Amino acid sequence: MIQEIGSLIINHNNYAKDQWRAIALVGDFSDGMEAMHGYAYFEDGEFASRIAGFDCLDKIQELREEMIKCGDKGWSQCLIHIVRPDLQITIRFEYENPKRWSPGKVALDMRDFAELLKPSF
C-alpha cells in the first residue's frame, strides 16, 4: 500500500512534470476531517505548495483503516517524504498531536512551515 501511495504521488500531474528533488505531503485525519497539504522541493532551495489529489488521499485513508484493523490505535496525521534520485519513500505517523504537521497560520510566506515538513536530502 505504501508503494501504491508513492506511485500515486509521483505520477500525479502536480509532480510528474517537475524536476523536484523531494516531496513532503501530509495526510490529515484530525477533527473529523480528511485533508492533505504539502510541498515539492527543488535543487535550488525553492519550494512550491503541491498536493496529489483525492485518489491519493483515499489511499492514505485506506492505509489508516488497514492499520486500525491490525490493532493500531489510529493516527491523526502522517507525513510522507519522497526523495530523488532513488525515490525513497518514508512515512511517519502522529498519534498524540493532531496538529503536529499543520500550518500554525496561513500567510503569504509559508517558508517556515515548508521547512518544518522538508525531508533531508
Top-level class of domain 2-117: alpha beta
pLDDT for 108 beyond 90? no
C-alpha cell at 36: 492533505
pLDDT tops 70 at residue 119: yes
Entry pTM: 0.93
Q: How far is CA 56 from the centre of its chain?
A: 10
Q: Which amino acid is at 100?
A: R
Query: Could you tell me which of 59, 37, 46 has the C-alpha nearest to residue 18?
Result: 46
What amino acid occupies position 56?
C
Q: Is residue 27 classed as helix, strand or coil in its secondary structure?
A: strand
The answer to whether the beta carbons of residues 84 and 20 sit under 8 Å apart is: yes
Phi first, then psi: what are they for 97, rounded to 5°? -110, 100
Structure confidence at residue 104 (pLDDT): 77
What average pLDDT does the segment 23-33 reach? 93
Task: Tell me the pLDDT band of 31, cut-offs 50, 70 and 90.
Answer: confident
Q: How many residues does the chain have?
A: 121
| For the chain, domain boundaries | 2-117
